[in-house]
Amino acid sequence: MIDPRVASGLRDLLPAEMIPRERILATFRHTFSSYGFLPIETPHIERMEVLTGKGAGSDEVLRQIFEVTNKGGTPGELALRFDLTVPLARFVAKHIEEVGIPFKRYAIGSVFRGERPAKGRFREFVQCDFDTIGTESALADAETAQIIHESLKAAKVPPFTITLNNRKILDGLLESLDLAGKTGAVLRSLDKLAKIGRDGVAAELQRSDVEGNSGLSNDQAARILDFAETGRGGAEVLNAAENRLGTHPKAAEGIANLRTVFDLLDAGGVSSDRLAIDLGLARGLDYYTGIVYETTVDGWEKFGSIASGGRYDNLASLFISRRLPGVGASIGLDRLMALMGEAGCLGGTTATAPVLIANFPGTDPAVGFRMAAQLRKAGIGVEIYPEPAQIGKQMGYGSKHGHKLAIIVGPNEVAAQVFNIRYLATRHEDKGLAWSVLEDSVQGALQILEQEDLRS
Amino acid sequence: MIDPRVASGLRDLLPAEMIPRERILATFRHTFSSYGFLPIETPHIERMEVLTGKGAGSDEVLRQIFEVTNKGGTPGELALRFDLTVPLARFVAKHIEEVGIPFKRYAIGSVFRGERPAKGRFREFVQCDFDTIGTESALADAETAQIIHESLKAAKVPPFTITLNNRKILDGLLESLDLAGKTGAVLRSLDKLAKIGRDGVAAELQRSDVEGNSGLSNDQAARILDFAETGRGGAEVLNAAENRLGTHPKAAEGIANLRTVFDLLDAGGVSSDRLAIDLGLARGLDYYTGIVYETTVDGWEKFGSIASGGRYDNLASLFISRRLPGVGASIGLDRLMALMGEAGCLGGTTATAPVLIANFPGTDPAVGFRMAAQLRKAGIGVEIYPEPAQIGKQMGYGSKHGHKLAIIVGPNEVAAQVFNIRYLATRHEDKGLAWSVLEDSVQGALQILEQEDLRS
């Protein structure tokens, strides 16, 4: 016998997890589509050189790559994708003439990283990405935040905050401190502020062994940290930033961009309660060059960001010379599901069909088969129990699976051409309903339950 | 620069392919759910020994396995799944106590086979599987055919035929010819009847070098081929089979099963026009033990079967001792999409949002942003062009993408608080509509177009 376990760091998703997952994915697809984003799909397997090209992934991500080989293939040539952004860059480089710009695409799919297995960390996880390619318009920046907002709202995520910054403001600050060459290292340290605190970041900034960094002065580190720490709040934070950096052209551009985005989001119906500015937010990845986004659920910040992204100058520079700016974000489905599960807002029922037709011992199964077809035609999901087991067992199955109603037709009911409806939660039964009113009776019973649900 | 090509045998899916694909997948999920099937997901990566266990896959499939390794992992330990059935068997072995029986699950996902690249053959393709585990009921057999029927109908597949057989009938025939030990080899040859013809199969059956076969007599081969060739048609074919094999208990069981399935399908509203019997149909895989299914689109038989499956005695015998019979089928999404594309029944439009709001040079983008939010709230998908480009260019974008209407608001319209609707196909414009009737006007215009579509 072979052990039926899954490989380390991987997992099966059972119906109780999959049903809300599918529902949430459907709302994401619907939301992305309602903004004119078009779906694309790229293979799970990419050529290794596509994934490991300069800047495609961080060193850490590259160490986690899963290599793929088949018989007759050359080892080291293929690998599983570790995100959906590098495949998007390759896709756009290959197909841009055909798809044209602006190109708005969404993609939902599994990505793979050989991370050290740990609780809640999986080596396969699903990203839900949407990007607008080929425009520098602030409208696309605002729309990206709006879609994060609308997607999460439609998925019934508890109250959350979208935190915004514009990398140009931080760039301006560093340039004004003569630290332009050290941006990458400084921003990577700054991103740890929440995790290791002010003193930790200050120490790291002043160390001379930080990669690409020759050590900041105590004063430089303090100025950066002051700026980041006082730079959190609503749109009013931008006024302080303007006083400090308004004469620096790049910083001023960043500040103006965030103002426009706030105005557009207000016009687009996104409440400013859901928005925050954090002038210290850098979002690690070196390729962000403008607005950046990060989203946390209020009170569940320990889960980290569930939807993040930003604007980049040049998406496909590894592959083509044509400059393609863009902006986009990625919703981390697995982290979101884990959070919603812990927060208790995923719902409990597992049945995908509300009605169970019992297979009554002695009744011709064709009777139930015919009723099921009739009800499905009326838009009602129906499961038939496959075997003429004891009715108690069948009702137990229905209760366990979250069916709402059972239809029972014994031989006496067949003779009289009637049926019984049992409400599985209360065990109440409506008896002797005529076959001729099947759809109406079941529809009516489901409506009663729905109204009771709403009332409770 | 890195070449942005995909790896050999793989491909990108562009929006024009993805939009009908997503629509069809949504109808499959809806149909499976409406029969009470529950979604599950297993990882793309499985442990090698799970995939290569005895009988898990044919030798050909095993040769095509993609091995997966990460840094620090042991080579040869992991691989990509080549179907969804082996992972189902492993899943069921691991979780059966939790999910209970009967267990009805569906799964939709990519599988990977390192086949020799050829036109229309891909190394990654999507299977849509549904199975009922833990019952031997003929009701589940009938339901499987019914779901194939309803799924394809809902996906607007052109007229198709579901061909049925029961392996017990062929087993009975072979036993009656004293060929019980040679079933596997005989059935593999018989499956080639359509491809290599009667003479080809006869020659193969009589050869002594066929794997596991010591050579049939001329008479034995002729009897098998006669049985298969005269065994095609509607339910009446079963009468001839009964005359020939009715006294053989196993064959009689198979014949009775198909009769019950036909009766149930009739009760379930599946027209007998869509059903055929082929007593020679074996469906290669050794593990089928009862009913088998194959589905071809009428006039497009060259594409092969788009939905196939059957009943098996013991799904998870590689992993647990508990006997778990089941029945299920798999719809091959990529083959189906290729067929529908060639048959011209996928539709042409690509836009996911019917309305394009132009970004009029000189108009505050917040105006369009506000209108878009209003329309989406009314359930209408809206895309905003991100840049204030020339209106002609923006309309070209709308036409190319298949948007139906454009909303245009120039500075004059802003002053008068009105907007224009342009019908992109005819270039007709409704001008000077008041902002206060935005939703109604757009809703009305879309209804006009829909009625025209229905009429043409």
Identity of the highest mean pLDDT range in A282-296, A349-363, B408-422? B408-422
Instruction: Report the residue from A29, A42, A387 with minimal CB separation from B22.
Output: A29
> Cα(A407)–Cα(A374) distance, rounded to whole angstroms?
13
Q: What mean pLDDT is reported for chain A?
A: 93
For residue A133, which of B382, B386, B3 has the smallest C-alpha distance? B386
Give the CATH architecture of domain A355-455: 3-Layer(aba) Sandwich (3.40)
Q: Tell me the nearest-neighbour CA distance from B202 into chain A, angstroms.
A: 34
Contact B95 A12 (CB under 8 A): yes
Contact B93 A63 (CB under 8 A): no
Contact A9/B at CB under 8 A: no
Assess: ipTM above 0.90: yes
Going from the C-alpha of B376 to that of each of A106, A260, B160, B372, B401, the distances in angstroms are 18, 21, 38, 6, 19
Instruction: Report the residue from B2, B42, B72 with minimal CB separation from A50.
Output: B2
> Cα(A352)–Cα(A26) distance, rounded to whole angstroms?
15
Provide the 8-state DSSP code for B399: H
Contact list, B123 vs chain A (CB under 8 Å): 45
Listed in sequence order, the residues at least 6 apart from B305 whose beta carbon sits closer than 8 Å to its beta carbon are B294, B295, B296, B332
* Residue A184: per-residue pLDDT: 82
| Domain B15-342, CATH number (from 3.30.930.10, 1.10.10.10, 3.40.50.300, 1.20.1070.10) | 3.30.930.10
For residue A265, which of A252, A256, A275 has the smallest C-alpha distance? A275
> Cα(B179)–Cα(B361) distance, rounded to whole angstroms?
82
Q: Which positions of B make up the binding site for L-histidine?
A: 83-85, 113, 127, 131, 283, 287-288
Name the residue in chain B with its Cα closest to that of A132.
B386
Going from the C-alpha of B136 to that of each of A145, A388, B290, B327, B331, the distances in angstroms are 52, 11, 10, 8, 22
Contact A344/B at CB under 8 A: no
Is the backbone peptide bond immediately before A325 cis, with ω within 30 degrees of 0? Answer: no
Contact A386 B2 (CB under 8 A): no
What the block records as the tokens of B29 is: 């999920």
Q: Tell me the nearest-neighbour CA distance from A145 into chain B, angstroms.
A: 13
Which amino acid is residue A251, in one-letter code? A
Q: How confident is the model at residue A455 (pLDDT cuts 50, 70, 90)?
A: confident
Residues B229-249: tens digit of each pLDDT: 999 999 999 999 999 998 999
> Cα(B159)–Cα(A306) distance, rounded to whole angstroms?
45
Instruction: Report the residue from B90, B146, B352 with minimal CB separation from A4.
Output: B90
Q: A47's torsion region: left (phi>0), alpha (psi -120 to 50) or beta? A: beta
Can you tell me whether residue B430 is helix, strand or coil? strand
Name the residue in chain B with its Cα closest to that of A95.
B14
Residues 163-192 of B with CB under 8 A from A: none
Contact indicator for B270, B141 with CB cutoff of 8 Å: no
Q: Quickly tell me which residue has 């902006």 as its tokens.
A: A327
* Residue A211: per-residue pLDDT: 57
Contact indicator for A276, A233 with CB cutoff of 8 Å: yes
A283 is in an annotated binding site: yes
Residues A232-260: tens digit of each pLDDT: 999 999 999 999 998 999 999 999 999 99
Instruction: Report the residue from B7, B114, B353 with minimal CB separation from A36.
Output: B353
Listed in sequence order, the residues at least 6 apart from B186 whose beta carbon sits closer than 8 Å to its beta carbon are B174, B179, B205, B213, B216, B224
Phi and psi torsions of A293, nearest 5°: -125, 150
Residues 295-314 of A with CB under 8 A from B: none
Q: Which positions of B make up the binding site?
A: 83-85, 113, 127, 131, 283, 287-288
Mutation site for B-interface testing, chosen from A68, A71, A141 by largest number of B Cβ within 10 Å: A68
Contact A71 B77 (CB under 8 A): no
Q: Is the C-alpha dihedral spanning B250, B256, B262, B267 positive or negative?
A: negative
Contact A38 B15 (CB under 8 A): yes
- Residue ranges of domains in chain A: 15-342, 355-455
Can you tell me whether residue B102 is helix, strand or coil? coil
Can you tell me whether residue B152 is helix, strand or coil? helix
* Residue B214: per-residue pLDDT: 58
Contact indicator for B96, B82 with CB cutoff of 8 Å: no
For residue B441, which of B350, B367, B380 has the smallest C-alpha distance? B380
Name the residue in chain B with its Cα closest to that of A376.
B34
Contact A393/B at CB under 8 A: no
Mutation site for A-interface testing, chosen from B25, B66, B108 by largest number of A Cβ within 10 Å: B66
Tens of each residue's pLDDT in chain B, 456 residues = 999 999 999 999 999 999 999 999 999 999 999 999 999 999 999 999 999 988 777 888 889 999 999 888 889 999 999 999 999 999 999 999 999 999 999 999 999 999 887 777 899 999 999 999 999 999 999 999 999 999 999 999 999 999 999 999 999 999 999 988 888 888 888 888 888 999 999 998 888 665 555 588 999 999 999 999 999 999 999 999 999 998 999 999 999 999 999 999 999 999 999 999 999 998 876 789 999 999 999 999 999 999 999 999 999 999 999 999 999 999 999 999 999 999 999 876 677 899 999 999 999 999 999 999 999 999 999 999 999 999 999 999 999 999 999 999 999 999 999 999 999 999 999 999 999 999 999 999 999 999 988 887
- DSSP-derived secondary structure for B200-233: HHHHHHH-S-STT-----HHHHHHHHHHHHH-EE
Contact B121/A at CB under 8 A: no
